[in-house]
Amino acid sequence: MSFLRHVGKIGDRKVAIIFREVPGEQHMCLVTYTETLNQHIHDAMMKAIESQIGQSAENLADALNRSYTKEGKVILQVLHKEGLLKKVQTSQVVVTPNSTTKIKLDELNKMLDEMQQGETAIKKLAEMDSSLGMQIPSDVARRMRGDQPLTIPNAPDGVLADNAIANNLLSQARKMEVEAKGLLAESARLQQEANNMMGVPIATQTTTSEAPVAKKRGRPAKATVTA
């Protein structure tokens, strides 16, 4: 394989990098010295590293927790029980994914963390772009604060910004009510103007909802007298 993740060296000794960073101790990592492993563990672990699962795993531990020795034992558990996991400083580990590439693990971790932060920012921007237009104020507020409680300045503890969101909704409702009243008034004016043009008497306009009938123009027809 031309490019292999999770492998490196400490000095001249080959290691497999189980955890790139120890939780709570970013300057430390967990490794195992591959040359000290028994063959039944070594071969199974190298197979796991070279597998698609191993190469796609962010930390080798994830793949080893799903891989087994010939005896059917979980590789990660075997390494732990036999004391083969060693905590060392990331600056001491040189990552060697191929024969021509070398980089210190602490530098690699920094690069990967920056890339991850950039991807997170891109996802948030894409989410905001996809919801442009009609938006629910509470949804926008929650996305902007990262789903974390947001307190109102100078407000008692526990008072959430949802109060401000509610006030905003009430303000929008009042504006819509004013606009609705304006539309009703305009509708009444147009109806009155149409009735006037069609010659509907005022009394009829106010007492009936039937459609107005236009007056017939011209002289009335003479009555026919029969013998």
Amino acid 147 reads D
In this predicted structure, the answer to whether residue 95 has a pLDDT above a threshold of 80 is yes
Pairwise CA distance, residues 169 & 175, whole Å: 10
Q: Which of 213, 210, 208, 206 is nearest to 192 (CA)?
A: 206
Query: Confidence band (pLDDT; 50, 70, 90) for 97?
Result: confident
In this predicted structure, the answer to whether residue 208 has a pLDDT above a threshold of 90 is no
Domain ranges within the chain, ordered by starting residue? 7-109, 134-204
pTM of the model: 0.53
Return the minimum-mean-pLDDT range out of 35-49, 90-104, 127-141, 192-206.
Answer: 127-141
Pairwise CA distance, residues 78 & 63, whole Å: 14
